Structure 1
Amino acid sequence: MRPFLMFAGAVDRLNDAIGSFIRWLALVMVIIGAYNALARYATRYFQTALSSNALNELQWYLFSVIFLLGAAYGLRHDVHVRVDVMYAKVSDKGRAWIDLLGTVLFLLPFSVLMLWVSFPSVMRSWSIREVSPDPGGLARYPIKALVLVSFGLLVLQGVAHVVRQVAVLKGIAGPVGGLSPSQASPPEPGYGDKHAPGTAGGPDEPDSRHGEGL
């Protein structure tokens, strides 16, 4: 099991490094988007184009990179949106089974299917060096190649996720991701509180801060 856990750790580090990189792309995307918005208004006064199709396309290219490369990073940190019906109410091993089956039955098959479906389109785009149809636009074949990279990273992270869930079921490692029932549904203040005998505020004991005759 140790070699598999080492593989999972290597995949985690890879996607963590990618996540650290794309967070800066988000800042660049915001700056370019703000410039494009201001440039459209400023063009009316200066009577010259201050933006371009290349800058407009670069903005959504950066968004595509963040989305595509961030998918595996989100899976690694368990931050994808989920609809929780019973997950928070089951035991750690129950959650491990849910994550394991969800990954094996849904995530991995879907990712492999998307690799198979998108591969011909990506190869065709690279063969013709596809570019934007808009004047001054950017090349499109590099961004299309990231579709394969994205789902490839998802497959790797999915396999790492399976390894970690199996380790949880075998008792080798602690729970991976998700919230424990106490974290997911904190009790209301005062509900079910029990005080040790003799402490202040206990239901059956006098408050130690006051005298017995008061």
Structure 2
Amino acid sequence: MQTLLRLAQLIEALNERVGQFTLWLVLLSVLVSAGNATMRYLFRYSSNAYLELQWYMFALIFLWAAGYTLKHQGHVRVDVFYGRLSKRGQAWVDLLGTLFFLLPFTALVIWLSWPLVTESIRVREMSPDAGGLPRWPIKLAFLVGMVLLALQGISEFIKRLAFLTGHLEAPTEEAPSEEVV
């Protein structure tokens, strides 16, 4: 179990670093958006590349931060009973949800998107818009985001299993205290 817990720590370190990187993308996205608007309204200059860059950064923020958000228990939970369960009950719900929903979903998405991503890379797919950006990097980024989410799911599964078998004191860090009821 210690080997699996070490693997979970490595996965979490990876998602933490990727998550910290994506935080900077939020600032960069705002700057590109403001710069694009300024150029368009003050200088009547516009480029599809700037608009697509904004879309790409938004996609990276969403996709690459999914594992980071799962690590920090930031995904929305809509469950009337979950909050009333004991820590062990919550761990069982998380373990089974990860095993039967999260991991199969990410595996299916990775499996179905793999041919599309590899073909896009092979042909060096470009935006159909004049002055647009290459499309293959963002398709590859999508695949990376799904892999990061799946890895974090594996980490969460390991932590819940370790908690339920008595190898870990608490299954995860606490969720943020500002919960909406």
Mapping of residues 53-68 of structure 1, within 5 Å = 53-68=48-63
Match of 2:71 in 1: 76
Matched, 1:7 2:7: yes
- Deviation per residue, 1:120-177 (Å, 9 max, x gap): 1111111110001111111010110112111111111111111100111112221324
Distance 1:97 1:178, change over 3 A: farther
Distance in structure 2 (CA, Å) of the matches to 1:11 and 1:97: 21
Q: CA-atom RMSD, angstroms?
A: 1.9
For 1:91 and 1:133, locate their aligned partners in 2 and report how far apart those are by CA, in whole Å. Answer: 53
Alignment of 1:134-173 (within 5 A): 134-173=129-168
Deviation of 1:14 (Å) = 0.5
In the alignment, what sits opposite 1:118?
Answer: 113
Partner of 1:175: 171
Shift in alpha-carbon separation, 1:62–1:184, aligned structure 2, 3 A: closer
Structure of higher CA gyration radius? 1
Please, which runs of 5 or more residues in structure 1 have no aligned partner? 186-214
- Correspondent of 1:108 among 103, 120, 129: 103
Q: CA deviation at 1:178?
A: 5.4
- The alignment's TM-score, normalised by the length of structure 1, stands at 0.79
What amino acid maps onto 1:9 in structure 2?
Q
SS of match in other structure, 2:13: helix
The structure whose residues are more often helix, as a share, is 2
Q: Which amino acid aligns with 1:93?
A: R
Q: Percent identity?
A: 47
Counterpart-to-counterpart distance in 2, 1:119 and 1:133: 22
| Residue of structure 2 in register with 1:34 after alignment | 34
Deviation at 1:76, TM superposition (A): 0.8
Displacement, 1:40? 2.2
Give the partner amino acid of 1:110: F
Taking the aligned partners of 2:171 and 2:122, their CA distance within structure 1 comes to: 46
> Do the aligned partners of residues 74 and 32 (structure 1) sit closer, same or farther apart at CA in structure 2, a change above 3 Å counting?
same
Aligned to 1:208: none
**In structure 1, distance between residues paired with 2:126 and 2:82:** 45
Higher relative CO (Cα under 8 Å, sequence separation at least 6) belongs to 2
Verify the 8 A CA contact 1:88 1:184 in the aligned structure 2: no
* Higher mean C-alpha deviation, range 98-107 or range 163-172: 163-172
